[in-house]
Structure 1
Amino acid sequence: MPPVFTAPLALKRRVGLLFALQFFAQGVFLPFFAIFLSDKGMGDAEIGIILATPMAIRIVSGPIVAAIADMLGRRSAAISIICAISGVIFAGFLFADGFVQILTVMIAMAITNAAIIPLSDAYAMDTVRAGQGDYGRMRLWGSVSFMIATLAGGAVLEATSSTLVPVTVSVSLLACSLMALMLPELARETPLEADGGIAAAPRLRDIGFLVVLLAAALVQGSHAAYYGFGSLYWRGLGIGETLIGFFWVIGVVVEVVLFLLASKLGMRLPPLAMIALGAVAGVVRWSLFTVVHDPVAVLAVQSLHGFTFGATHLGLVGFIASRIPARRAATAQGLGGTFVGLVTASGTLVSGPLYSIDPAYAFWAMAACCALSLALLALIALRFAGRKTQGEV
């Protein structure tokens, strides 16, 4: 099916713009939405609950919406509709007052928003299979956009009001909806029965597959304390929003380099090794987070974000692509999002009370998540090694 609006740009560039618009919103939301909530009068525990809500809701809504899009074969249309609805709802934060109203808007937004990233990743992998793009090079534009949004957002917020946060996120999501209308519905290689769609269901329930998803989710979810309280922690040390923006961006710079080198790394490091690399970086990063205060040292620790997020994300996407047929890609990505949502929601809820006692406790808990991920990956590596020894596929 042709796109609703024709576009002269190559498909890979349109997908890159799609990621750019999505992550521009993320680049404003993740570092500064907690500050917006704090300025609205929310306490640490209330902020934890509000930020955990979309992560908990995505556990259910993400895979359901992604699976429906898989069955209908209308991924770009689904992305457009979901982004439009989410953008309109997000504007509701401008009018919400008090914990109950803010939480209500967050619940409504989260129901629709959860499937955006899984569907976009699945569409990007369709583009790769069609020979029209490289995943890492398309996805890196999301990281570049995140950096721009975070740096600009920090500088602007110092001079204006945190009310700008929901406005920017809302506009970015609406623009993302328009961009999705310019994407064609890519045909899959073969019918559902022929490309393994029916056989994919047992694979999605395979214990080894699920454990790898959990291991990756533990690393991704270990960002919960950082996303929820990182900016508040630095602001509590007397650091301004502009420098906080630089702290967020340095890790994304490493992430961009990683995405640029993704194809070469993919030939040298298997997906499980990429996830393990992210887990090791996580243990180091979160253990040191509240120990280092010098800006140069903070920037060095923050550079590990390129691995805690970037390497883990590439490993997870690569693992799913190698194990699940194309027709079930969005469903599998949604299932991965469910695991990430479960861990991140739990981590955010736990981080609030721990942060109130001592910020270090919250980040040490995140380091423990990464250590557990390494243990699970070691068990899976032994399991796979046993299968090869026995001649199993």
Structure 2
Amino acid sequence: AILPLYEVITLRALGTRKDKYGKVRLWGSVGFIGAVAVVGAILEWVPVSYLPWLLLPVFAGIAVSAFLVPAERGERKPPAPKGSLKAIVTHPAVIAFFLMNFLLQVSHGAYYTFFSIHLEQHGYGKLSIGLLWSLGVLAEIGLFLVMHRLSHRFSVRQIVIGALFLTMIRWILIAELTMVVPILIFAQLLHAASYGALHAISVQYIQGFFGKHHHGQGQALYSGLTFGAGGALGAWMSGFLVEGISTSAAFWGGAAAMAVAILITWRGLQPMPKVDEETGR
């Protein structure tokens, strides 16, 4: 539930420098790697029942940092135009955007649920599996560092279609060439496209389409309909494929979802409009 608020506050704090979002977001990925490494090492020595105590300093740090975020100053914003949220949500480009992201997270269902199991079935050990997961996060950090350059050089449509195509290739490589280590490493590096590029673009796309009055609702819809509903449906459907066929079939299902997402994006996604920050139009 905190994610939509985090995105809104971050983008408002950046102001006209929204293309720098990636350089802020990458620290979440750094924190993820740090937490996995440090907490994982500690849990080798202490029982897992100590986990809440290990998390307590993290939550305390979040609370302290939240109070350090400067509050917005200035005049109160005028009330939002009546019916504007409905008009935004029913816009064909916004519908295409949400469908694309929904299918993107459906395709990730097999990855987040069965990737470790898939690797174990192909003979990879725990250390190798952990390193491969970390490699994906490192790739996303690298993408966040250069995302502002890509957004200046390529259009939103070009970045999205390119990232969706690379995501489809990624699932096919994992499904069919798991035992070829260099190919698997390359597939994990494509996490920069399947998560990094698409998330950074999506957050800014929501900000551009929903305007100042509806930033919160837009980011909440993005998190709920995609990471929430899409991720849950993808995990559920991939479970049937794993039980009925194999883990490779689940990744092929993700590739099929990406093929549909590419078609929807090609036909329906439009550039972000020039939005008036006050009226949201």
TM-score by length of 2: 0.83
The C-alpha deviation readout for 1:282-341, integer Å capped at 9, x for no partner, is 110111113222433321111000100011101211211221212311210111112212
Q: Show CA shifts across 1:36-91 (max 9, x none).
A: xxxxxxxxxxxxxxxxxxxxxxxxxxxxxxxxxxxxxxxxxxxxxxxxxxxxxxxx
2:250 counterpart residue number = 362
Cα pair 1:276 1:312 within 8 Å, conserved: no
**Does the aligned pair in 2 maintain the 1:211–1:380 contact within 8 Å?**
yes
Which consecutive unaligned segments of at least 5 residues does structure 2 have? 273-280
1:278–1:312 CA contact under 8 A, matched in 2: yes
Q: Match for residue 107 of structure 2? A: 222
User: Residues 210-249 of structure 1, C-alpha deviation per residue, up to 9 Å, x if partnerless?
Assistant: 2212212322332111111112222343433332221112
Q: Which amino acid aligns with 2:141?
A: V
Structure 1: how far apart are the matches of 2:205 and 2:70?
Answer: 26
Q: Whole-Å Cα distance in 2 between the matches of residues 222 and 117 of structure 1?
A: 21
Picking from 133, 145, 158, the partner of 1:260 is 145
Q: Is the 8 A contact 1:122 1:329 kept in 2?
A: yes
Q: 1:130 to 1:376 in 2, by over 3 A?
A: closer
Q: How does 1:1-393 map to 2 (within 5 A)?
A: 115-129=1-15, 134-152=20-38, 172-173=58-59, 175-187=61-73, 191-193=77-79, 199-291=84-176, 292-340=178-226, 341-357=228-244, 358-381=246-269
Letter in 2 for 1:243: S
5+ long unaligned stretches in structure 1: 1-114, 385-392
Structure 1 residues 320 and 382: CA distance shift in structure 2, 3 A: closer
Change (3 A) 1:220 1:353: closer
SS of structure 1 residue aligned to 2:175: coil
Q: Which amino acid aligns with 1:302?
A: Q
- 1:346-366 superposed Cα distances (whole Å, 9 cap, x missing partner): 111111221123111111111
Partner SS state of residue 89, structure 2: helix
Q: How far is the alpha carbon of 1:170 from its aligned partner?
A: 6.6
Q: Distance in 2 between matches of 1:164 and 1:243?
A: 26
1:274 touches 1:314 (CA, 8 Å); kept in 2?
no
Q: Which amino acid aligns with 2:239?
A: G
Shift of 1:148: 2.6
Q: Write the letter of the residue equivalent to 1:373.
A: A
Instruction: Tell me how far apart the structure 2 counterparts of residues 296 and 158 of structure 1 sit (CA, whole Å).
Output: 30
Does the 8 Å CA contact 2:156/2:271 hold for their aligned counterparts? no
Contact 2:175 2:249 in 1 (8 A): no
AA of the residue aligned to 2:140: E
Q: Which moved more, 1:211-220 or 1:155-164?
A: 155-164
Deviation at 1:146, TM superposition (A): 1.9
Identity within the alignment, % = 26
Q: SS of 1:222's equivalent?
A: helix
Q: Which residue of 2 aligns with 1:74?
A: none
User: What SS does the aligned partner of 1:345 have?
Assistant: helix
Give the Cα separation in 2 of the matches to 1:362 and 1:163.
33
Q: Between Structure 1 and Structure 2, how many residues are aligned? A: 270
For 2:125, the aligned partner's letter is G
Cα shift at 1:158: 6.4
Whether the aligned pair in 1 keeps the contact of 2:11 and 2:18 (CA below 8 Å) is no
How many Å apart are 1:180 and its aligned residue? Answer: 1.8
Change in Cα spacing, 1:141 to 1:193, as seen in structure 2 (3 Å) is same
Give 1:159 shift.
6.7
Please name the residue that 1:28 is paired with: none
Computed over aligned residues only, the root mean square deviation of the Cα atoms, in angstroms, reads: 3.1
- What amino acid does structure 2 have at the position aligned with 1:248? W
User: Structure 2: how far apart are the matches of 1:354 and 1:166?
Assistant: 35
